[in-house]
Amino acid sequence: MIKLNSKFSQKIPFFFLYAATILTIIPVITIIFVIIKNGLSAINWEFLTSMPRDGMRAGGIFPAILGTFFIILLTIIFVFPIGICAAIYLNEYAKNNLLTRVINLAIINLAGIPSVVYGLFGLGVFVIFFKLGVSVVSGALTLSIMELPVVITTTRSALNSVPYSFREASLSLGISRWLTIRHIVLPNAVPGILTGSILSIARISGETAPVLFTASALYVSYLPHSMFDQVMILPYHLYVISTQVPNVRKDMIYATAFVLLILVLGISCIAIVARIYFKRRKKW
Amino acid sequence: MYYFGKNMRKILYIIIESIIFFCGILSIIFVILIFGFLFKESFVFLKNYNIVKFLFGRFWYPTLETALFGILPFICGSVLVSVGACIIAVPIGIMTALFISEVASKNIRNILKSLIELMAAIPSIVIGFIGMATIVPIVKNVFSIPTGLTAFTGSLMLAFMAIPTIVTISEDAIHSVPWQYREGALALGATKWQMMKIVILKIAMPGIMGAIMLGIGRVVGETMAVIMITGNAAHIPTSIFDPVRTLTATIATEMGETVKGGIHYKSLFAIGFVLFIITFIVNFIADIFLKKNKNL
């Protein structure tokens, strides 16, 4: 038997590693390319700023864009203060005891619950029990609970990356726990918190299932003017015109997908660029 | 703040720290609320409708006069689509993670990691739409079957959604293998591939298993893409080229048509409860694996 040179024979598994990576990357690029190619031609100012007409077969997607922004904004207001405080508690105050372990288990569990189950919960609790109705606020509350574990986890790792010696230096000067966190830990953790937050905003803007029964409507003939209104949102609008409404022009569907994709990927790119920028500037 | 007296300031700090503590335990409150709520809504249903008939019933006719609520077809659908997605995503995901962590140069590594991050951010509805517009007709023609909306097509798209999770977390696990192990293996004369296969994969295995479990969790809970691609047929599939319907898809498609508080409405909460239990177990196992990895 010819013994293959082991240096040579490792070329084969390495080839498979290359192939797998390419298999992972190609679909991403294909999806982005297909959507840009088919959707770009239908994008114009009118499409972005006018109401849908003719049973959503013509006109624009303005109310859906506005509704999406409205929900994102409200979710940010709800989730970030709570998430950041929770992360401060877990990273700065919590001792290694049963309570902390239970909190960690709860966070893991929250992160794993399917989005449609959050939708059910939001429907039962916010829409029906608290009588908020199908509205922006119900949807934003539902999304907030869903994003909470993500915000906690990213903020926590940002806090955790601030060197422990910073805290010790401050505490040894007799400065209280809270003031140390407020003036030493938080300012140094801001870049990490910021990039993590931006990434979770990207996630919120693409979610459909949790807002399906809590905030979104098939079609609303007016623009939302209070947070107790039903709204149209981009992801659900894409679902509706691609599966529920017959004979919608293909390029209009692609254009809607294009706007949603640009919104989500654009926000993610901001986070990635910000992270690279902060990493270069980091002094420790 | 500094205008206050010393005592006032102390009280203020106590208030702030109490708020922080409250936010910390809020996660527990939410989990209990969600669990309790799903349980309460489905309890009435499960009391009136035999739980064995619910879990193993083969027919789902919620609107008939003598309504049947058997979710076995949906359980089969979810399992079939998830298993299919894992068969595709696990090998590709692990190999990509190995490539990013061990083979790629630093620049390529950063680019690939950013791309994977973007991949994870693509909304499921967009993936569903693209799948419907491109993959579904291809599957229909290649396998010459009456419809391209099958479990197989669903698996393909879900694999795409599980890959970012699997890659990111197993890459973390592989990357955290201490360098002494690598150098030890290389010093003993192992080639780079032998080192990866024998040493790194073995040590990073708990982390990789955790990554796979989290990937499964994501696939089982995925809703919108599945609705658009798998065909939504409420029957027990006989092959991977059958249209199927998953647990999540049933909730999302039928909730809009139910009478609030009616038996059909409650039955959908019971499905939600089943999903909650499944994902709880999957994530719990994932956490055990990932903890093992951390104790390296």
CATH number of the domain bearing residue A123? 1.10.3720.10
**Does residue B225 form part of some domain?**
yes
Identify whether residues B126 and B273 lie together within a single domain. yes
Long-range contacts of B76-79 (CB under 8 A, 24+ apart): B76/B236, B76/B237, B76/B244, B77/B151, B77/B230, B77/B237, B77/B244, B77/B245, B77/B246, B77/B247, B77/B249, B78/B220, B78/B246, B78/B247, B78/B248
Confidence at residue B192, expressed as pLDDT on a 0 to 100 scale: 86
**Does residue A1 form part of some domain?**
no
A206 touches chain B (CB under 8 A): yes
**Does residue A90 form part of some domain?**
yes
A175 touches chain B (CB under 8 A): no
A263 touches chain B (CB under 8 A): no
Residue B208's pLDDT band (cuts 50, 70, 90) = very high
Confidence at residue B250, expressed as pLDDT on a 0 to 100 scale: 93
pLDDT tops 70 at residue B3:
no
Residues whose CB falls within 8 Å of the CB of residue B234, separated by 6 or more in sequence, listed in order = B60, B73, B74, B245, B250
**For A3-35, what is each residue's pLDDT tens digit?**
566 667 778 888 999 999 999 999 999 999 999
**Does residue A136 form part of some domain?**
yes
Q: Which of A74, A79, A67 is nearest to A225 (CA)?
A: A67
Residue ranges of B 180-199 with Cβ closer than 8 A to chain A: 191-194, 197
**Does residue A278 form part of some domain?**
no
**Does residue B1 form part of some domain?**
no
Residue A206 to residue B192, Cβ atoms within 8 A: no
Geometric angle at alpha carbon A266, from B134 and A43, rounded to 5°: 60
Q: Residue A100's domain spans which residues?
A: 63-234
In this prediction, residues A196-218 reach a mean pLDDT of 87
Mean per-residue pLDDT of chain A: 89
Confidence at residue A235, expressed as pLDDT on a 0 to 100 scale: 93
Identify whether residues B138 and B41 lie together within a single domain. no
Identify whether residues B44 and B74 lie together within a single domain. no
In this prediction, residues A44-66 reach a mean pLDDT of 85
**Does residue B283 form part of some domain?**
yes
Measure CA A232 to chain center.
18
**Does residue B54 form part of some domain?**
no
Output the CA–CA distances (angstroms, integers) from residue B201 to A22, A106, A157, A205, in the order listed. 21, 30, 26, 36
Residue ranges of A 55-74 with Cβ closer than 8 A to chain B: none
User: What ipTM does this complex have?
Assistant: 0.90
**Does residue A256 form part of some domain?**
no
Confidence at residue A100, expressed as pLDDT on a 0 to 100 scale: 93
Residue A238 to residue B98, Cβ atoms within 8 A: no
Residue B284 to residue A109, Cβ atoms within 8 A: yes
Mean per-residue pLDDT of chain B: 90
Residue B20 to residue A88, Cβ atoms within 8 A: yes
The one-letter code for the residue type at A224 is P
Identify whether residues B154 and B13 lie together within a single domain. no
Give the chain A residue whose CA is nearest to the CA of B287.
Answer: A108
**CB-CB contact of A253 with B129 (8 Å):** yes
CA distance to partner chain B, nearest, from residue A165 (Å): 22
Q: Which of A37, A54, A34 is nearest to A248 (CA)?
A: A54
In this prediction, residues A69-98 reach a mean pLDDT of 93
**Does residue B56 form part of some domain?**
no
**CB-CB contact of A122 with A210 (8 Å):** yes
Q: Residue B42's domain spans which residues?
A: 6-48
Q: Give chain B positions within 8 Å (CB) of A149.
A: 27
Identify whether residues B150 and B277 lie together within a single domain. yes
Residue A283's pLDDT band (cuts 50, 70, 90) = low
Residue A239's pLDDT band (cuts 50, 70, 90) = very high
A136 touches chain B (CB under 8 A): no
Looking up residue B98, the CATH number of its domain turns out to be 1.10.3720.10
Identify whether residues B31 and B74 lie together within a single domain. no
Identify whether residues B288 and B174 lie together within a single domain. yes
In this prediction, residues A84-93 reach a mean pLDDT of 94
**Does residue A264 form part of some domain?**
no
Identify whether residues B238 and B273 lie together within a single domain. yes
Residue B296's pLDDT band (cuts 50, 70, 90) = low
Query: What whole-number percentage of chain B has pLDDT above 70?
Result: 98
Give the chain A residue whose CA is nearest to the CA of B96.
Answer: A21
CA distance to partner chain A, nearest, from residue B221 (Å): 4
A177 touches chain B (CB under 8 A): yes
Nearest by CB to A112, from B134, B222, B282: name it: B282
A82 touches chain B (CB under 8 A): yes
pLDDT tops 90 at residue B56:
no
- Measured distance CA(B201)–CA(B206) in Å, rounded: 9
Nearest by CB to B27, from A86, A264, A272: name it: A86
Geometric angle at alpha carbon B212, from B209 and B215, rounded to 5°: 155
Residue ranges of B 81-110 with Cβ closer than 8 A to chain A: 91-93, 95-96, 98-100, 103-104
pLDDT tops 80 at residue B294:
no
pLDDT tops 60 at residue B2:
no
**For B117-145, what is each residue's pLDDT tens digit?**
889 999 999 999 999 999 999 999 998 88
**For A115-148, what is each residue's pLDDT tens digit?**
999 999 999 999 999 999 899 999 999 999 999 9
Measure CA A5 to chain center.
49
**Does residue B156 form part of some domain?**
yes
Residues whose CB falls within 8 Å of the CB of residue A222, separated by 6 or more in sequence, listed in order = none
How many domains, chain A? 1
Candidates B6, B122, B149, B218: best to mutate against A (most CBs of A within 10 A) is B122
Residue ranges of B 54-73 with Cβ closer than 8 A to chain A: none
A90 touches chain B (CB under 8 A): yes
A106 touches chain B (CB under 8 A): yes
In this prediction, residues B32-51 reach a mean pLDDT of 88
Confidence at residue A71, expressed as pLDDT on a 0 to 100 scale: 93
Identify whether residues B143 and B42 lie together within a single domain. no
In this prediction, residues B29-49 reach a mean pLDDT of 90
**CB-CB contact of A253 with A242 (8 Å):** yes
Residue B30 to residue A148, Cβ atoms within 8 A: yes
Nearest by CB to A116, from B41, B99, B223: name it: B223
Confidence at residue A93, expressed as pLDDT on a 0 to 100 scale: 92
Nearest by CB to A89, from B24, B221, B269: name it: B24
Identify whether residues B44 and B172 lie together within a single domain. no
B18 touches chain A (CB under 8 A): no
Query: What whole-number percentage of chain B has pLDDT above 90?
Result: 58
pTM: 0.91
**Does residue B58 form part of some domain?**
no
Q: Give chain A positions within 8 Å (CB) of B134.
A: 34
- Comparing A199-213, B83-97, B161-175, the range with the smallest average pLDDT is A199-213
**Does residue A28 form part of some domain?**
no
B151-175 vs B72-98: helix axis angle to the nearest 10? 40
B296 touches chain A (CB under 8 A): no
Confidence at residue B55, expressed as pLDDT on a 0 to 100 scale: 87
B282 touches chain A (CB under 8 A): yes
Confidence at residue B124, expressed as pLDDT on a 0 to 100 scale: 92
Identify whether residues B211 and B126 lie together within a single domain. yes
Identify whether residues B152 and B249 lie together within a single domain. yes
Residue A24 to residue B92, Cβ atoms within 8 A: yes
Query: What whole-number percentage of chain A has pLDDT above 70?
Result: 97
How many domains, chain B? 2
**Does residue B25 form part of some domain?**
yes
B260 touches chain A (CB under 8 A): yes
Confidence at residue A1, expressed as pLDDT on a 0 to 100 scale: 45
Confidence at residue B221, expressed as pLDDT on a 0 to 100 scale: 92
Residue B80's pLDDT band (cuts 50, 70, 90) = very high
**Does residue A158 form part of some domain?**
yes
